[in-house]
Chain A
Amino acid sequence: MSLRIFVPRDAGAVAVGADEVALALGRTASKRGVEIEIVRTGSRGLYWLEPLIEVATPQGRVAFGPVTESDANSVLAAMIADGAHPLRLGLTDEIPWLKRQTRLTFARCGVIDPRSVEDYRAHDGYKGLERALTLSSDAILADVTASGLRGRGGAGFPTGIKWKTVAQTSADQKYIVCNADEGDSGTFADRMIMEGDPFVVIEGMTIAGITVGATKGYIYIRSEYPHAIEAMKAAISAAKRAGYLGARIGGSAHSFDLEVRVGAGAYVCGEETSLLESLEGRRGIVRAKPPLPAHKGLFGKPTVINNVLSFAAIPFILAGGAKAYADFGMGRSRGTMPIQLAGNVKYGGLFEVAFGITLGELVDEVGGGTFTGRPVRAVQVGGPLGAYFPRALFDTPFDYEAFTARDGLIGHGGIVVFDDSVDMVKQARFAMEFCAIESCGKCTPCRIGSTRGVETIDKIRAGNRVPENIAVIEDLCNTMKFGSLCALGGFTPYPVMSALKHFREDFGPAPTRLQAAE
């Protein structure tokens, strides 16, 4: 009998030794004369347990982790005997951290072989496209709109409305562009889905193409993600071979082609208009809006540009799940959000859940606090442009509007946890410094404001006229927030101002009011 063993090929798992574990399993199996089949999957997203490997059993997959190279022999023995092992975690689906999630977008990630169209199809893949091919463009738009899906890149713009605008604009050529320039620190959901279930992104983009009448799509992936680039390229080739990309997809009258393009280390290219410039072969300089990309996008043509997770949510919705998707969530935030717990967190990873869960539940219950064991002091939500939240705001529900109401943003769903050793002035300075490094230079508030911000925070750190310089920072942030062309300059004030507001004590002595003479 041959054992089927699943070892992730996800970059996060590879970074902690998954490749070595796979090799060691092969060696020890041949030494024992046992036949095994190793399937390289994506990650389940339980990163503190990576490398997490699984074996197929009649009861379901059984997980072991974190497995090192030197554990391979004993783990294989436990797999063969179906016996006990200190690293045995039981049935994967019963692991509480996984069981508590609502995995709609990430249902297949870590489960299937990301190189195999057949495996994707065997796990409900391409059902959304198959149904979409039987529908009119209007009917697809109705489903996307009914699902309540909003752009998962951070801006939260309703996907249905964006698609409808492109569908209604007539042009000889339209484009679908997938923004896979996931530059926010603390986020890795795009990377995970591209490495673990690339076909779901392809399927989502293909549905977008047939809906709006676009025949060509680009996936712009950042160069820092070599594993994701490889996975997407392999999946595109496989989809072409299987007739799911190219001319007459799935035997229909529609054509759709996809190409991967690689970024070159510019954070600002995650901003959609800057990304389009970069795709056109130019410097990643932000464009003024309007015109919207939906009217004049890539090469001046109507373009749907969405985040990886937005496209990845589409196949479930089109496979008849629009209402089911909309039934999850709260307020105007419908469906699920793949949340990423990162930084100094005990149980870090990918946690897909309906909107509405509170920040405190996510950090303390799901994340288990810090791995250093020290108290959580601050969390940054939404990447380098997101606000720092203190414990006092941990009752904030994960919802676009609730975070906005508290001067924050959910962004791309990343949460970075800091313990009480964090120096919030240093973090505020970093936000300004990062903006200065990455500014495209087009608008003055961002280009100059960020550099002045670094200088001014340095003065504050040196104890130089602290109250006056804090007033300068507040004024500067106000100018950047309202005067910048895009979110880089416009949102850098969020981490800076939240650090100042919630962690004022780190910025030096509070201003003492002049006392009237007795």
Chain B
Amino acid sequence: MAPVYEPWDATRGAEIIAEHTHLEGATLVILHALQEAFGYVPEPAIPMIAHALNLSRAEVHGVFTFYHDFRHEPAGRHVLKLCRAEACQAAGGDTLAARAEAKLGIAMGNTTADDRVTLEPIYCLGLCATAPSAMLDGRVVGRLDEARIDALVAEAQR
């Protein structure tokens, strides 16, 4: 199931920010909440967060850009994350990652031209004893082989 996101709306964004301003060190919590609602963190939200938390825009921008998770633009309809860390490498993950790239016609870290699939590396899902592993839109899949990776790619392309 592809996640469904709301289109960016400043009023809704302000509401989400206001829900969390009472927390200690709220910046990451707010960025997560915005991304959960809109699928990414829209640029206009940065000065809004800064204002709400009495921080500079530069500080919030710094946090936003430091972490790999936060998206600057919407991802494809489906996000396929392949674990690229050592345990999955040991179990043949490199070959499967190359196979997924070839099937989708994109390199790791990119989105297909039709905006259907974003393919991303992830460094460890903690499924190292059922490696190689992947995550499709939040669903975890282990013991990947050629057939399973093909099925995952096909599912993401639908």
Which residues of A come within 8 Å of B, CB atoms?
11-12, 14-16, 47-48, 50, 182-188, 190-191, 223-228, 261-267, 278-284, 299, 340-345, 348-350, 371, 380, 384, 414, 416-419, 422, 427, 430, 434, 438, 440
Contact = CB atoms under 8 A, between A and B. Distances in A.
Interface residues of B, number: 42
B52 to A, nearest CB: 12
Contacts of A11: 125-127, 140
Given A11-B127, A283-B66, A434-B123, A344 B142 contact: no
Contacts of B99: none
A291 B157 CA distance: 52
Contacts of B142: 12, 15-16
A438 B84 CA distance: 14
Nearest to A438: B123
Contacts of B92: 344
Contacts of A278: 28
A185 B141 CA distance: 16
B125 A224 contact: yes
Contact of B67 (A227, A264, A299): A264
B142 to A, nearest CB: 3
A183 B123 contact: yes
Interface string B25-47: 11111011000000000000000
A281 B26 contact: yes
B140 A184 contact: no
Given A266-B68, A284-B67, A188 B127 contact: yes
B25 A281 contact: yes
Contact of A343 (B28, B53, B128, B141): B128
Contact of A187 (B66, B70, B90, B126): B126
Contact of B91 (A48, A341, A343, A349): A343
A329 B63 CA distance: 43
Contacts of A419: 90
Contacts of B25: 279-282, 299
- Residue among A183, A188, A343 with the highest chain B CB neighbour number at 10 A: A343
A281 B63 contact: yes
B87 interface: yes
B36 to A, nearest CB: 10
B88 interface: yes
B71 to A, nearest CB: 11
Given A15-B133, A340-B128, A416 B69 contact: no
A445 to B, nearest CB: 20
Q: Please classify the interface of chain A as helix (H, G, I), strand (E, B), loop, or mixed, using the class held by over half of its residues.
A: mixed
B140 A341 contact: no
Nearest to B25: A281
A388 B16 CA distance: 47
Given A278-B28, A279-B25, A342 B123 contact: no
A427 B86 contact: yes
Contact of A261 (B29, B70, B89, B126): B29
Interface string B127-158: 11111010000101111000000000000000
Given A185-B128, A188-B126, A265 B68 contact: yes
B68 A50 contact: no
B15 interface: no
Given A185-B128, A418-B90, A14 B31 contact: no
A228 B126 CA distance: 11
Nearest to B32: A262
A321 to B, nearest CB: 28
A341 B129 CA distance: 7
A472 B62 CA distance: 34
Contacts of B125: 11, 15, 224-225
B89 A15 contact: no
A265 B69 contact: yes
A284 B130 contact: no
A422 B70 contact: no
B86 A283 contact: no
Contacts of B67: 263-266, 283-284
A281 B86 CA distance: 30
A48 B88 CA distance: 15
Contacts of B70: 264
B87 A50 contact: no
11 contacts: A12-B127, A15-B141, A50-B130, A225-B125, A261-B28, A266-B67, A282-B25, A284-B67, A343-B89, A349-B129, A371-B91
Contacts of B63: 281-283
Contacts of A188: 126-129
B130 A185 contact: no
A226 B138 contact: yes
A152 to B, nearest CB: 16
A343 B127 contact: no
Contact of A191 (B87, B126, B138): B126
Contacts of B28: 261-264, 278, 281
A348 B122 CA distance: 21
Contacts of B126: 11-12, 182, 187-188, 190-191, 224-225, 228
B107 interface: no
Closest 5 A/B residue pairs (Cβ): A185-B85, A348-B129, A343-B90, A342-B128, A15-B142
- Residue among B66, B69, B124 with the highest chain A CB neighbour number at 10 A: B124
B66 A343 contact: no
Contacts of B127: 11-12, 15, 188
B140 A416 contact: no
Interface string B44-82: 000000000100000100110011111000000000000
Nearest to A13: B130
Contacts of A340: 128-129
A447 to B, nearest CB: 13
A281 B124 contact: no
Contacts of A344: 90-92
Contact of A12 (B24, B53, B88, B129): B129
B137 to A, nearest CB: 11
Given A15-B130, A16-B130, A349-B129, A380 B86 contact: yes
